[in-house]
Chain A
Amino acid sequence: MPWAASVPTPEPIASDPMNTGGSPSTIPTVPAPAPSVPSDTPTNGALGPIALRRLTTVEYENTVQDVLKVAPGSTAHFRPDDTSLGYNNIAAALSVTPLLAERYAVTAHSLADSLDLNVFAPCAASMAEPACVDAFIQSFGRGIFRRPITNEELLGYGTIYQDERARSNYAGGIRLVAEAMLQSPHFLYKTELGEGSGVERKLTAYELATQLSYLTVGSVPDTELTAAAEAGKLEAPSEREAQLRRLLNTPRGQRWLTTFVEQWVGISDAGYLAKDTGAFPKYTGTLSQAVVEESSRFIGAVLSDAGASVETLLTANFSFANTELGEHYGLAQPPTDWQRVMLPEGQRLGILTQSAFLVATSKLRDSFPIRRGKILRSRMLCGDVPPPPADLMVKPAVINDDTTTRLSIEAHSQMGTVCAGCHTLMDPLGFGLENYDATGAYRTQEFGKPINASGSINSVSPEIDGPFANGIEFAKRVAPSQVLQRCVARESLRWSIGRETLAAPLTDANVLRDQVLISALAERLAAHQSDLRELLVGLVLRDEYAFRSNP
């Protein structure tokens, strides 16, 4: 247990499981926020260690669609990727388990079986068969490996062809080569190995193109990006910026950036969450789908029309609705089909008051202010919540069935000072959303008692700390703040580079590098009207974007 042992930890006091509560051995203290590092601090020259990043299921799906020209659905039976830090593309959490290797094998067979050989492996009567085979291995490999194949690979896959040719025929051999290539680690992993043998490795032009492409559209480089890579242009930060802006402004680029926002805010799985059908008979499958579509349309609109402004994401007075969702939101005139709508004034503002977020942060039947507060604090404010003492034993207070959610949580979590120490960091944030039930419907009463949606931001920063009247006021205060800018900078960096960002100690060169990057990105965001796209531009413009270190 080397990691746990390195953390200063108090000895727990043995406690009786039936104990009714009493003081734990320690009362947690709130950690001081980390000071931000000046963005012009010199740092080491590599973005991180050399790495292999397994394609996520979505990236795999996009890649085979683009290269093999197949219809969507190849990955319909893949299980969702493990998430870490809230994102599904964190390399450390992505491996090839036996189960996934099976899926890859079955899918590769299916894809190879349906490959149109007239398109991918034509062999005119005038051509010699070996030439046709080599041409196929080179072109197919170039597409899915995202680089030219090596001589060794040409020979290796050539052998697979020849062995199968002896068993069957030309088509059989070609299909088996395709089946193998579709299980190759050179397809399944995006490599960041670089060239040479020194400590600092420059990414190859193909690796750079792959980085840029999966960052912006979640798939293989297109023709233009490939041409830029082959011409050696991507070494120039300005060319990287130009390519990135071009790709971000395509519909695919906007959709891909939408997936970042969905994962950052934590609404990706909202469509899978059921609610108590007895309490919410109107929360049907179609409404659940509409809830997801609303946020997707809204984020897409902000990214394409509204300057991709983070501030607008949190404070827009408009959204999108169909009839069912319009009724769910109590719109005076629900639209007949999907369209942009104005939100009821004083009831909703921005993405944190949309049903997707509220559904994802609720229980089956009840709102869940503790979870809502924890997520608001960690995802929007990048604030820590210290752990509860491990020997803490609490018997819940006895409450009546018609006690409001807020009062029952206050009775559980805020009695005495022991729990309040941590829960004041979370619960008062979540209370701001008490006007929305577990399905995101607006409410002014619970069990016939008036809703109290007042709350406060505690121990984050003098810039935003203090009481607020409701979630709308919270969103308005946080949206333009430096706290949010720095937080979304950190979050976008994690998503962009697929790894944890390092926070301490600053004497470590890699920690310093990450903290400087976050400062630089936050400043860029502030200087560009909180345009999310600038976070990615700021990253690819950095010299270290093209370098990795080994070890």
Chain B
Amino acid sequence: MLSRTLLKRRELLLGLGSAGFLAGPVFRESLAEGQTSAFPIRFVPIYLPACEIANKFNFAKALAPLVPFQADSIVFTGVNNDAATAVWRVSGEPHGAELRTLLTGDSSVKALENASVWAKSDSIDQIIAQKISPDLKFTTLQFGVVSETHSNPLDQRRMIFKNSTPQPPIEDPGYMFARLFGTGIPQGGGASTANTSSPADVMARGKSVLDRMILEVTALKQVAGAGEQQKLDQHLTSLRELEKQVLGGTAVGDHGLLGASPGPSCAAPTLTPVPYAQAYPPGSGAGPDIPGVTSQQFQLLYQAWNCDLTRTASMQLLGTAHTEVGFNWLGVKDDHHALEHSGAGASAAMDKVQSFFTGEIAKFLGLLKSTPEGPGTMLDNTVVLLFTDFSSGEGHSHLDIPFHIFGRGGGKVTPGRTIAYAGKPHNLLLRSVLNVFGIDQASVGDEVAGTPLSLS
């Protein structure tokens, strides 16, 4: 159903080019709540699996493609992920702990065997999204690249949490394209009412269904018992999110393609999404189309922001202890986990793989930097948090974890320097990032000693 309407839409998009969308409002007129800059400030955490910080995760090696953005970056040293260490000690599973804790700082998770209990704290991308883009068409977007399929079920691991519920990434660029730039979620009637469907009708249908659903879930909450409240709260959150897509969609522009404050360059990306079966072919064979998917996911993120469909996102590249795919197009046969555990012997191969991904990140930063916004560029109004899980793949070390920030956060971040954490927990770093967005929490995840260092 979706794909049929999407195709029509895509033909239309391709036919019009970007000019079709310039007909809409191009001036940034509104400021989201809590926004201090005249332009949207945006946030995306980008995860890339384990690197050896000592000799790889620096601008001379794996980060070489990012050298042009060195002056736009802060390098953090000596940041420890103590929450992951705590989880590992309890769960006995070195993997999984890091993903769950990196953006939550929360060690209140149980062992892999009991994976139904997840991080209790929201990850900071969700906290920030709730602050800066709750009223946009999408509160936030979770992107992934080979983050779900091609992974062993025992390796199921999650990075983003809200309401103690893992928020899975979308690893299919086709579906992401449809959500962002398709005709939206269809409402009611179908063929029998096609002739009478004005945008107002579509909205009215969506409202009548969603009002009923919200009423029913709310009523269930009254009788469902303490153990089920969180689940139903999550359900309500999801319905509200749907409500924005359905009801907010037609209010602005063409089925909601345009967000609240679209930039002049806002347009559907002129890309043809890699078909799912080609992106993630089942079974053996060529393996997933990692280059195609990675490139498209970043392009989609860029245009989602440019059209102000949301102001936050997350990007999960691969997963932790990723054992199920190799990197054939780079001539690397080993899987990522094998590379992590192969020590110096795999150095060259690891550099190739990491440089591929940092190269894609560099292209994304390049798009942001080449898009004028106010007196500067989109990158100036953005915080990109790049991090990995282990500082030493061999030892599963959560000490001295690589964290980098790119962008100026609308003037709240002063890049071009190194900030030394000297063994302090990353909870403080997460608080510093929240501060950029005007959020001052007494703690993020576990309560830890110390105060966050200013990024400005």
Instruction: Give the bracket for the number of chain B residues in contact with chain A.
Output: 35 or more
Is B348 engaged at the interface, CB distance under 8 Å to the other chain? no
Bound: A365/B284 CA distance, A: 12
Bound: A332/B285 CA distance, A: 27
Is B191 engaged at the interface, CB distance under 8 Å to the other chain? yes
**A322 → B minimal CB distance (Å):** 15
Count residues of chain A with CB under 8 A from any CB of chain B. Answer: 108
| Selected contact of B87 from candidates A4, A54, A371, CB within 8 Å | A4
Is B29 engaged at the interface, CB distance under 8 Å to the other chain? no
**A129 → B minimal CB distance (Å):** 15
Interface core residue of A14, A77, A90 (most chain B CB under 10 Å): A77
B376 to chain A: which residues have CB within 8 Å? none
B61 to chain A: which residues have CB within 8 Å? none
Bound: A393/B392 CA distance, A: 9
Bound: A186/B109 CA distance, A: 30
**B98 → A minimal CB distance (Å):** 12
| Selected contact of B189 from candidates A99, A164, A391, CB within 8 Å | A164
| Selected contact of B205 from candidates A19, A84, A164, A389, CB within 8 Å | A164
Contact A97 B165 (CB under 8 A): yes
Is A284 engaged at the interface, CB distance under 8 Å to the other chain? yes
Instruction: Select from chain B the residue with minimum beta-carbon distance to A394.
Output: B395
Chain B 417-456 interface residues, beta-carbon cutoff 8 Å to A = 423, 445-447
Contact B212 A51 (CB under 8 A): no
Contact (A378, B423) CB under 8 Å given A4-B107, A163-B204: no
A176 to chain B: which residues have CB within 8 Å? 188-189, 205, 208-209
Contact B284 A168 (CB under 8 A): no
**B125 → A minimal CB distance (Å):** 14
Bound: A90/B353 CA distance, A: 36
Bound: A34/B91 CA distance, A: 19
B85 to chain A: which residues have CB within 8 Å? 12, 390-391
**B26 → A minimal CB distance (Å):** 28
Contact B90 A387 (CB under 8 A): yes
Bound: A364/B446 CA distance, A: 37
Chain B 214-241 interface mask (CB, 8 Å, partner A; 1/0)? 0111001001111110011011011101
Is A500 engaged at the interface, CB distance under 8 Å to the other chain? yes
Instruction: Select the stretch in A109-117, A347-355, A530-538 that faces chain B.
Output: A109-117
Instruction: Select from chain A the residue with minimum beta-carbon distance to B170.
Output: A99
Is A52 engaged at the interface, CB distance under 8 Å to the other chain? yes
Bound: A391/B285 CA distance, A: 39
**B54 → A minimal CB distance (Å):** 7
Is A462 engaged at the interface, CB distance under 8 Å to the other chain? no
Contact A186 B216 (CB under 8 A): yes
B92 to chain A: which residues have CB within 8 Å? 385-388, 422
Chain A 395-416 interface mask (CB, 8 Å, partner B; 1/0)? 1100000000000000000000
Is B108 engaged at the interface, CB distance under 8 Å to the other chain? yes
Instruction: Select from chain A the residue with minimum beta-carbon distance to B223.
Output: A193
Instruction: Select the stretch in A236-244, A246-254, A266-274 that faces chain B.
Output: A266-274
B343 to chain A: which residues have CB within 8 Å? 395-396
Instruction: Select from chain A the residue with minimum beta-carbon distance to B323.
Output: A363
Instruction: Select the stretch in A55-63, A100-108, A480-488, A539-547 that faces chain B.
Output: A100-108
Chain A 157-172 interface residues, beta-carbon cutoff 8 Å to B = 157, 159-160, 163-164, 167-169, 171-172
Contact B185 A106 (CB under 8 A): yes
Instruction: Select from chain B the residue with minimum beta-carbon distance to A368.
Output: B323
**B164 → A minimal CB distance (Å):** 9
Chain A 302-347 interface residues, beta-carbon cutoff 8 Å to B = none
Bound: A378/B115 CA distance, A: 14
Contact (A396, B341) CB under 8 Å given A79-B168, A85-B115, A97-B168: yes
Known: A1-B445, A92-B116, A272-B150. 19 other contacts (CB 8 A): A4-B86, A50-B225, A52-B231, A80-B148, A82-B166, A83-B153, A97-B167, A98-B241, A106-B2, A159-B208, A167-B193, A271-B282, A274-B324, A277-B285, A280-B284, A363-B323, A364-B333, A371-B154, A387-B88
27 of the cross-chain contacts (CB-CB < 8 Å) are A2-B108, A3-B117, A4-B107, A4-B109, A77-B175, A90-B116, A95-B234, A97-B167, A105-B242, A106-B1, A107-B1, A114-B190, A156-B215, A172-B188, A175-B189, A180-B212, A185-B235, A274-B287, A274-B325, A277-B284, A277-B286, A284-B283, A363-B337, A363-B338, A364-B338, A387-B90, A394-B394
Interchain residue pairs A-B with the least CB separation, the first 5:
A387-B92, A113-B190, A288-B283, A92-B116, A101-B238
